[in-house]
Structure 1
Amino acid sequence: MTVRLNKKALEHARKLVEQGKVVHDERDDWSEHAPSADEENRYIEKNGWDDYALWHLGEDPDKSEETKGRFSFPYGDFTKVHRCAVISLESRAAQNDHDDIARETKRLLELIDGE
């Protein structure tokens, strides 16, 4: 698995934070706030894979382009960035040695908290 930082998604997340499109929730809320598989499918059907990719900071170029398995480290609910998702993915990225994703996620969290 060769997960790399999705730079377009990072830029998208930063823009959303700068626009105030952030949910300031608590660390453990992501399991309740994360989009369900059905919500993801509806989003893909309506907006396409390129837009879906913008909501994930990780991308595995070895996986097929139009599969959910290609994308990892989601940070929002397709409308807003969730602080709890950013916290969760920073921890997971660090645990799995995705240092570039962990580093950029930490910066994103600082942007959220400094908003």
Structure 2
Amino acid sequence: MAVRLNRKAYDHARKLIEDRKVMLDERDDWSEHQPSAQRERRFVEEHGLGEYQRWYLGIDDKVGEGRRTRYKFPYGDFENVHRCGVLSAESRAGQYKHFDVEQAAAHLHGMLDVVRAG
């Protein structure tokens, strides 16, 4: 898999964190908080794939454009950045050696920790 950092998504997440549009949840919450496939489809229908991709830190260049499966490592629920989503993306990106995605998620993790601290 040729996954690279989705810079638009990273910049979008940073802006959302700066605007305090965050959920400071726990690592294990992501399985419950991540959008369902049905929610993803509805979001694409309502907002388009361009807006959808802003919620995924990775782009898989082996998957053709115009497909939802091209985008990897979600970090939010289409409204807020979820700390649990960022932590999951950071961990999984490191596990699969997508180091630019891992580093971006680690930076977002640090930003969220600052918000969490007060």
**Does the pair score TM above 0.5?**
yes
User: 3-state SS of the aligned residue for 1:54?
Assistant: helix
Distance 1:88 1:62 in 2: 22
More deviation, 10-19/62-71: 62-71
User: 3-state SS of the aligned residue for 2:58?
Assistant: strand
Match of 2:3 in 1: 3
Report the CA distance between 1:96 and its aligned residue. 0.2
Report the CA distance between 1:62 and its aligned residue. 2.4
Residue 99 of structure 2 is aligned to residue 74 of structure 1: no
Distance 1:69 1:77 in 2: 17
User: Any idea what the Cα deviations from partners look like across 1:35-65, whole Å, max 9, x if unmatched?
Assistant: 0011000000000000000000000122111
Root-mean-square deviation over aligned CA pairs: 0.6
Unaligned runs of 5+ in 1: none
Give TM-score, length-normalised by structure 2: 0.95
Distance 1:106 1:52 in 2: 22
Distance 2:94 2:75 in 1: 15
Match of 1:26 in 2: 26
Residue 100 of structure 2 is aligned to residue 84 of structure 1: no
Match of 2:60 in 1: 60
Match of 1:49 in 2: 49
User: 3-state SS of the aligned residue for 2:84?
Assistant: helix
Give TM-score, length-normalised by structure 1: 0.98
Residue 3 of structure 2 is aligned to residue 14 of structure 1: no
